[in-house]
């Protein structure tokens, strides 16, 4: 067998039963938009709004590049 530098020895668990789906993934898109609307508004107001960028004297939008 060749030495593969990308290979790893992961000891991943094997489950007898399938895991339960996380709570948000059970929601429909419409329900999620309704449920998280207040959180989204809070984020846009406090962390990524034009007003916040002007208050911080940073009019350029943050971009991860």
What tokens were used for 53? 């960028």
CA angle 22, 25, 30 (to 5 degrees): 145
Please give the tally of structural domains in the chain.
1
Q: Which domain does 34 fall in, by range?
A: 26-55
Q: Do the domain assignments include residue 44? A: yes
Q: Do the domain assignments include residue 2? A: no
Q: Do the domain assignments include residue 18? A: no
What mean pLDDT value characterizes the chain? 77
Q: Do the domain assignments include residue 35? A: yes
Q: Do the domain assignments include residue 4? A: no
What tokens were used for 56? 């911080």
Indicate if the pLDDT at residue 33 is higher than 80: yes
Work out the average pLDDT over 34-55.
80
Give the pTM.
0.38
Q: Do the domain assignments include residue 5? A: no
What tokens were used for 63? 């971009």
Q: Do the domain assignments include residue 34? A: yes
Contacts by 34-40, CB closer than 8 A, 24 or more apart:
none
Q: Do the domain assignments include residue 61? A: no
């Amino acid at each position: 067998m060749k030495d593969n530098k990308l290979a790893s020895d992961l000891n991943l668990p094997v489950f007898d039963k399938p895991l339960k789906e996380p709570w948000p993934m059970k929601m429909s898109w419409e329900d999620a938009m309704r449920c998280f609307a207040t959180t989204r508004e809070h984020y846009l107001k406090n962390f990524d709004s034009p007003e916040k960028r002007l208050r911080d004297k940073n009019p350029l939008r943050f971009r991860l590049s």
